[in-house]
Amino acid sequence: MRDTVIVLEVSPRDGLQNESVVVSTDDKLGLIQRALDAGCKRVEVTSFVHPKRVPQMADAEAVCASLPQRGDVSYSGLVLNRRGFDRARATGRLQEVAMVVSASDTFGARNQGQSIDEGVAVGQEVIEEARRAGFFSSVTLAVAFGCPFEGDVPLDRLVAMAAKLAEAGPDEIALADTIGVGVPSQVLAGFGALREVLDPKIRLRAHFHNTRNTGIANAFAALQVGVETLDASIGGIGGCPFAPKATGNIATEDLVYMLDRMSVRHGVELDRLVDAAHWLEGVLVKPVPSMVARAGGFPVR
């Protein structure tokens, strides 16, 4: 069990991308600032995708241009191909580039227009370019615990993909439960298998959605197998626009509540996260799914 973990805040990108309300650039920056005020040191701020595919991310360059530059914070931009990487690099405001490769041919074709093999090849190219350009490079295997079109994803496929992508020298490899079907036993098996084949210098990160109410349990399992970073979204918002019935990420405040009660160090303030979730409800004009935003922390003050 880890006694310290990094919380990667993903609400400005994965959190907002599936929302029907188009959030202004100023409000996106307001959300990022609230994450920073709460103590988040890694923030996924946007994605560089075609605006017709994901209209919510059409202002990627504008968001990056106004990011507060701080030496203690690392900003990440998600990219799907070389064109997206070139856009991210051109902003001059990011420290991390995050590549996504689908672990399913069908999902990859619908989400990125790529087969698994094509995605791995593009991922290797982007990782190598990011490394040469001085970025912290991360690659995520999407639908790692189940695909909405093909069902279960074989563990040996994940291991083979991770090993191939590792040849390009990424700093971090993540497994993502994109549609929220994973359970703790899969998390233990998946990350355990990656530990056996990857260079120990490659960090591991976990990305969970709470679609079927297993997200926090999966985060606990990830801690047990030594995952260094957990993704979470203020308010528990989020979802993939290309996955049927997609719902939100695990809520950052729900995750932090668990970590606090377990004495796992993370450096993020629960009360500020709850305040940010309540502010976000006003921006989205609806309640957020977070449990702790509704119930508060404990002991009750």
Angle between helices 270-284 and 252-261 (to 10 degrees): 160
Closest CA to 112 of 17, 240, 20: 240
* Fold (CATH) for 6-295: TIM Barrel (3.20.20)
Mean pLDDT of 54-64: 97
**Which residues, 6+ apart, have CB-to-CB distance to 78 below 8 Å?**
13, 14, 44, 46, 47, 48, 49, 84, 98, 99, 100
CB atoms closer than 10 angstroms to residue 197: 11
**Which residues, 6+ apart, have CB-to-CB distance to 199 below 8 Å?**
166
- For the segment 191-210, what is each residue's pLDDT rounded down to a tens digit? 999 999 999 999 999 999 99
Distance CA 5, CA 26 (A): 30
pLDDT of residue 192: 98
| pLDDT surpassing 90 at residue 218 | yes
Distance CA 248, CA 288 (A): 9
- For the segment 244-290, what is each residue's pLDDT rounded down to a tens digit? 777 899 999 999 999 999 999 999 999 999 999 999 999 999 999 99
Q: Which of 40, 64, 147, 240 is catalytic?
A: 240
283's tokens: 């921006």
239's tokens: 């979802």
Q: Which residue has the higher pLDDT, 135 or 52?
A: 135
Mean pLDDT of 99-122: 95
Is 240 tagged catalytic? Answer: yes
Distance CA 53, CA 184 (A): 32
**Which residues, 6+ apart, have CB-to-CB distance to 132 below 8 Å?**
none
Within the chain, residue ranges assigned H as helices are 25-37, 60-65, 82-91, 105-111, 116-132, 155-166, 184-197, 215-224, 252-261, 270-284, 292-295
* Contact between 78 and 60 (Cβ < 8 Å): no
Closest CA to 218 of 254, 184, 172: 184
Q: Kindly list the domain boundaries of the chain, sorted by start residue.
A: 6-295
